[in-house]
Chain A
Amino acid sequence: RKEVEQDPGPFNVPEGATVAFNCTYSNSASQSFFWYRQDCRKEPKLLMSVYSSGNEDGRFTAQLNRASQYISLLIRDSKLSDSATYLCVVSMNTGFQKLVFGTGTRLLVSP
């Protein structure tokens, strides 16, 4: 089982749609969770951290479910500029401490 798993997509949605991504992780002791965004041929950049109580940043909402070991990202009112790959990132200690990146979910927003 992969340490962090994501549906690779692509998710094809029209502008204005609401779309949600899930990500599951294997290590129940994980403490920190993030969503990164990566544009084509660019480096990943932090989109938002994910807190236990859930958090929102404009059109983006992130939630954590520790019992089921998954995190989610909801994007409301999708824009063309939201087209990108979204990486789920989880901190783990597997002999050494590290951030583990999922392979990403690709989102394509069309006019």
Chain B
Amino acid sequence: DVKVTQSSRYLVKRTGEKVFLECVQDMDHENMFWYRQDPGLGLRLIYFSYDVKMKEKGDIPEGYSVSREKKERFSLILESASTNQTSMYLCASSPQWDTEAFFGQGTRLTVV
């Protein structure tokens, strides 16, 4: 089975902190994605990566950056956390961009 693992299920951070969300996949997938999910807004794409050291902005990249130094790992960074970044963050990977995406269990981040 494909496994996508996110480092934390729940996180509470203070406004202004730098926050790292880690994601690891074990299926050698080329593509990795970070989404956030909010009630009434669904899943929105923050950043994605098609290859190591490659990154592309999604629909809502402001306030976020990413890092992909190894194929299996894709990190989301909140440079200076703000309360409007309180959300559920979901990492996903897929072999092709338009095929099944496999999701991690999600990280519920609360910024206070």
Contacts and interface: CB of A to CB of B under 8 A. Distances in A.
Interface of A: 8, 31-32, 34, 42-46, 49, 87, 91, 96-99, 101-104
Contact of B98 (A42, A87, A97): A97
A101 B42 contact: yes
Nearest to B43: A101
Interface stretch (B12-20, B71-79, B99-107): B99-107
Report which residue of B42, B45, B100, B106 has the largest number of chain A beta carbons within 10 angstroms of its beta carbon: B42
Interface of B: 35, 40-43, 45, 48, 56, 58-59, 90, 97-101, 103-106
B94 to A, nearest CB: 8
A98 B48 contact: yes
B77 to A, nearest CB: 20
A24 B58 CA distance: 22
Contacts, number: 44
Nearest to B38: A103
Contacts of A31: 98
Contact of B100 (A34, A42, A87): A34
B71 to A, nearest CB: 19
Contacts of A87: 42-43
Contacts of B56: 96
Given A91-B97, A104-B42, A98 B103 contact: no
A11 B27 CA distance: 36
Contact of B97 (A34, A44, A46, A97): A97
A88 to B, nearest CB: 10
A43 B100 contact: no
Nearest to B42: A103
A89 B98 CA distance: 10
B10 to A, nearest CB: 11
Given A43-B103, A98-B48, A103 B40 contact: yes
A99 B101 contact: yes
B42 A43 contact: no
